[in-house]
Structure 1
Amino acid sequence: MTAITSTFKSGEPSLPDILRDINSGKVQLPDFQRGWVWDDDHIASLIASISLSYPIGAVMLLQTGGDGVQFHPRPIQGVTVQNDLKPEYLILDGQQRMTSLYLAMSSGQPVPTTTNKGKEIERYYYLDIVKSLNPNEDRLDAVLSIPTTKQITSDFGRKIDLDLTTQENEFSQCYFPLGVIFDQNAYSAWRRGFQKMFRNDDGKLDLFDNFEAEVVNRFQSYRIPTIELLRDTPKEAVCQVFEKVNMGGVTLTVFELVTAMFAADNYNLREDWDKRKERVSEQNVLKGMDSTAFLTAVTLLSTFQVNQQDSTKPVTCKRKNVLKLTLEEYKRNADTVEDGLRKAARFLAREKIFDSRTLPYSTQLIPLSVICALLGDRFEIDTIRRRLAQWFWCGVFGELYGGANETRFSLDVPDFMEWIEDQRQPRTIRDASFAPTRLLSMQSRLSAAYKGLMALLMQAGSNDFLSGDPIEITSYFDLAIDIHHIFPKAYCESKYKRSLWNSSVNKAPLSAKTNRIIGGKAPSVYLTNIEKQSNMESSRLDNILTTHKIDPDLLRVDAFEKFIRDRAANLLGLIEAATGKGISGRDSEEVIHEYGAALR
Structure 2
Amino acid sequence: MSFQTPHYSITNLLEWAASGHLQLPDFQRSYKWDDERIRSLLVTILRGHPMGVLMALEAGGDQVRFKPKAITGVTAASQDPVLLLLDGQQRTTSLFQALSGDGVVETEDERKKKLRRRYFLDIEKSLGDAREQDESVLSVPADGRITENFGKDVVLDLSTKERQQEQGIMPFVELFRPGGAMGWLLGFMNAKGPDHTAARAELMAQFNVKVISGINQYRIPAILLPAQTSKEAVATVFEKVNTGGLPLNVFELLTATFAGDAAYYAEHGTDFRLAEDWDATAAVIGHHPVLAGFQNTDFLQAVSVLVTLAKRRRDLAAGKPKPTATSARKEDILAMDLADYLPWSSKLRDALPWVAHFLNGEHIHTAPDLPYRAQVTALAVIRVLLGDDIDLYAVRARVRQWFWCGVLGEQYGGTIETKIARDAEQTPPWAIAAKIGGAVAVPDTVNRAQFAESRLLSLRTKNAAAYKGVYALLMSQDKPCVDWKFHQVVDKASYESLKIDIHHVFPRKWCLDNGIAPSYRESIINKTPLGKKTNIQLGGLSPKDYMRKLDSNGLTADQVDEIVRTHAIDPATLRSGDFDGYFTARRHALVGLIVGAMGKHANRDWDGGDERPAEGPEAFEPEPDDHEDGVSAEGDEED
TMscore range, shorter length? over 0.9
The reply to whether residue 180 of structure 1 matches residue 180 of structure 2 is no
Contact 2:298 2:377 in 1 (8 A): yes
For each residue in 1:375-416, what CA deviation from the matched residue of structure 2 results, as whole angstroms up to 9, or x when unmatched? Answer: 212122111111110000011011111132011111101201
Residue among 84, 90, 95 paired with 1:101: 95
Letter in 1 for 2:388: D
Counterpart residue identity of residue 281, structure 2 = R
2:473 alignment partner in structure 1: 456
Offset from partner CA, 1:531-559 (integer Å, 9 cap, x none) = 22x13211111111111111111111221
Distance of 2:26 and 2:471 partners within structure 1 = 44
Q: Which amino acid aligns with 2:144?
A: K
Q: How much does 1:355 deviate? A: 1.9
* Aligned-partner residue type, residue 310 of structure 1: D
Aligned to 2:628: none
Maintained 8 Å contact 1:15/1:221: no
Structure 2 length as normaliser, TM-score?
0.89
Tell me the SS of whatever aligns to 1:181.
Answer: helix
Distance in 2 of aligned mates of 1:543 and 1:251: 54
TM-superposed CA distance for 1:593, in Å, is 5.8
1:566 aligns with 585
Give how far 1:102 is off: 1.2
Give ranges in structure 2 of 5+ residues lacking alignment. 262-270, 317-322, 616-639
Q: What secondary structure does 1:192 align onto?
A: helix
Structure-1 separation of matches of 2:571 and 2:559: 11
Q: Is the 8 A contact 1:483 1:507 kept in 2?
A: yes
Task: Give the match for residue 543 of structure 1.
Answer: 562
> Does the CA-based 8 Å contact 1:479-1:512 persist in structure 2?
yes
For residues 81 and 413 of structure 1, the distance between their equivalents in structure 2, rounded to whole angstroms, comes to 48
Q: Which residue does 2:523 correspond to in 1?
A: 503
Give the superposition deviation at 1:130.
2.6
Letter in 2 for 1:503: S
Deviations 1:559-590 (A, max 9, x none): 11222222111111101100101102344469
Q: Hey, what does 1:577 align to over in structure 2?
A: 596
Secondary structure of residue in 2 paired with 1:226: strand
Q: Which runs of 5+ in 1 are unaligned?
A: 1-5
Corresponding residue of 1:165: 159
Is 1:93–1:248's contact at 8 Å kept on the other side of the alignment?
no
Q: Which residue of 1 aligns with 2:286?
A: 281
1:113: how far off? 0.6
Q: Is 1:350 the counterpart of 2:361 in the alignment?
A: yes
Matched residues in 1 for 2:410 and 2:588: separation? 20
What is the alpha-carbon distance in structure 2 between the residues aligned to residue 138 and residue 411 of structure 1? 62
Q: CA deviation at 1:436?
A: 1.3
Write the distance in 2 (CA, Å) between the matches of 1:340 and 1:293.
Answer: 14
Q: Match of 2:246, SS?
A: coil
Do residues 475 (structure 1) and 494 (structure 2) align? Answer: yes
Partner of 2:538: 518
Q: Deviations over 1:238-259 (max 9, x none)?
A: 1112322213421121101110
Contact 1:51/1:219 (CA < 8 Å) preserved in 2? yes
Shift of 1:592: 5.7
Provide the rounded CA distance (Å) in 2 between the counterparts of 1:496 and 1:216: 75
Q: Which residue of 2 aligns with 1:190?
A: 184
Q: Would you say the 8 A contact 2:568–2:586 is kept in 1?
A: yes
In structure 2, C-alpha distance between the alignment counterparts of 1:247 and 1:113, rounded to whole Å: 22
**What is the rounded CA distance, in whole Å, between the counterparts of 1:554 and 1:506 in structure 2?**
12
Instruction: Name the residue aligned to 2:621.
Output: none
Cα distance in 1 for residues equivalent to 2:49 and 2:584: 66
1:234 corresponds in structure 2 to 230
Aligned to 1:291: 296
- In the alignment, does 2:18 pair up with 1:23? yes
Distance in 2, matches of 1:183 and 1:403, equals: 56
> In the alignment, is the contact (CA less than 8 A) between 1:51 and 1:216 conserved in 2?
no
For 2:179 and 2:608, locate their aligned partners in 1 and report how far apart those are by CA, in whole Å. 86
Query: What are the superposed Cα offsets for residues 231-278 of structure 1, whole Å, 9 maximum, x if unpaired?
Result: 222211111123222134211211011101111122111111112201
Distance, in Å, in 2 between the alignment partners of 1:465 and 1:123 is 61
Q: 1:137 aligns with which of 131, 135, 142?
A: 131
The structure 2 residue matched to 1:112, chosen from 101, 106, 128, is 106
Residues 93, 242 of structure 1: 8 Å contact kept: yes
Q: Offset of 1:594 from its aligned partner?
A: 2.6
Q: Which residue of 2 aligns with 1:334?
A: 345
Q: Give the superposition deviation at 1:289.
A: 1.1
Distance 1:522 1:215 in 2: 78
Structure 2 CA distance for aligned equivalents of residues 383 and 306 of structure 1: 29
Q: Matched residue pairs, number?
A: 589
Q: Residue 357 of structure 1 aligns to a residue in which SS?
A: helix
**Matched letter for residue 495 of structure 2:** Y
* 1:591 to 1:161, Cα distance in 2 relative to 1, 3 A: farther
Q: Select the residue among 121, 132, 146 that pairs with 2:140.
A: 146
Please say if residues 44 and 140 of structure 1, whose CA atoms lie closer than 8 Å, have aligned partners that are also in contact.
Answer: no
Cα gap change, 1:113/1:136 in structure 2, threshold over 3 Å: closer, same or farther?
closer
Percent of counterpart pairs with the same letter?
A: 38
CA distance in 1, matches of 2:142, 2:157: 11
Give 2:359's aligned amino acid: L
Instruction: Kindly provide the CA deviation profile for residues 352-380 of structure 1, in whole angstroms up to 9, marking residues without a partner as x.
Output: 11221211111111110011112212122
Q: Distance in 2 between matches of 1:554 and 1:130?
A: 84
Does the CA contact (< 8 Å) of 2:250 and 2:334 recur in 1? yes
- In the superposition, the TM-score normalised over structure 1's length comes to 0.95
